[in-house]
Amino acid sequence: MIIVYNRSTGEIVGHCSRVFDGGRWREAAIDELFPEHEKSNLASVHFADDARYLAYGPHNWRLRRDESGVVTGIERLPSLVLTCDAADSDGDGIPDLPADSASVAHLTAKTNDGTNTEITFRTTRGSLNQRTVSTREGSATVELRAAGETVAVTVTATAPGYRAANLNMEFVPIPAQLAGSR
């Protein structure tokens, strides 16, 4: 497999498995893969084919370098882990909040390597008290306030150089004993 990358940024810009040409297997060349591309800033490395590269997607990998900066392989990007303190009140395995426009869950994103970075949170419903937070000891926490509608919610945490994390939640009907007291 050939991995083509930008020399300046280290970003992987393309890849190709071996090519069957004239009855023989061979490695592809940058000129074949990017005939119309400016090649002065491109470099390539060759590794044995690895199905995990395609299975996890090229965007989840980075170049691995030795102490002197020489590319020695590829490795998966570190990941973010996203959790919350909301309970699963209806037993379906998905954390939930009452759809009362007031309930709050604390969402915590952690870097799996403990490194500090800026983490950006996004939600499909409800509101966050902060959008981008700097981690401390690899961890950042925000609050998610429930919306007033009963819906499924997906919260996403992203950070440069990390695989994103998603957390599914629900805003559920307000329990009858609480609804009557409001």
> What does the block give as tokens for 39?
């090649």
Q: CA 14 → CA 64, 66, 99, 120, distances in Å?
A: 16, 21, 45, 27
Full set of structural domains in the chain with CATH: 2-76 (no CATH), 80-179 (2.60.40.10)
> What is the C-alpha separation between 18 and 27, in angstroms, rounded?
5
pLDDT digits (tens, 9 = 90+) for 120-159: 999 999 999 999 999 999 999 999 999 999 999 999 999 9
Best CA proximity match to 88, nearest among 156, 181, 167: 167
Distance of alpha carbon 86 from alpha carbon 171, whole angstroms? 11
Q: What is the pLDDT of residues 75-93, one digit of tens each?
A: 889 999 999 999 999 999 9
Are the CB atoms for 146 and 104 separated by under 8 Å? Answer: yes
Angle ∠(132,137,141) on CA atoms, nearest 5: 40
Confidence of residue 178 (pLDDT cuts 50, 70, 90): low
Give pTM, 2 decimals: 0.75
